[in-house]
Amino acid sequence: MNDPTTIQIIGAPVACDEGVKDPWRDLAGWMAEKLRRRYGTAVTVTYYDLFDPGCPALPPDAQLPLVLVDGRVLSSGGKLSMPAIRRHLDKLGVQP
């Protein structure tokens, strides 16, 4: 059996008038569930807070949110994009 494709999403909490929110974690969790439904065990998705001890090292000039697929930068900054992740996984030939 092949190793699953790893997707790592790195973000950070956001302070606002209502307190501290974690929108990237919430969105990453939603995306992880959708990707598991589509690809099954062929992918693993892990969210890291920038300050987590196990957070992967950020490449130079990286911006949050950062999406790594098998350790390579897919996106840096902007928005988390499910279509971009799915297109990339399909391009890699990931099958459920």
pLDDT at 2 over 80: no
Dump pLDDT digits (tens) for 10-60. Answer: 999 887 888 888 889 999 999 999 999 999 999 999 999 998 999 999 999
The tally of domains found in the chain comes to 1
83/80 Cα distance (integer angstroms): 9
Residues whose CB is less than 8 angstroms from the CB of residue 24 and which lie 6 or more positions away in sequence, other chains included: 9, 11, 12, 47, 64, 65, 80
Single pTM value for the model: 0.92
Q: Note down the domain range covering 45.
A: 5-92
What is the reported pLDDT for 15? 79
CATH number for 18: 3.40.30.30
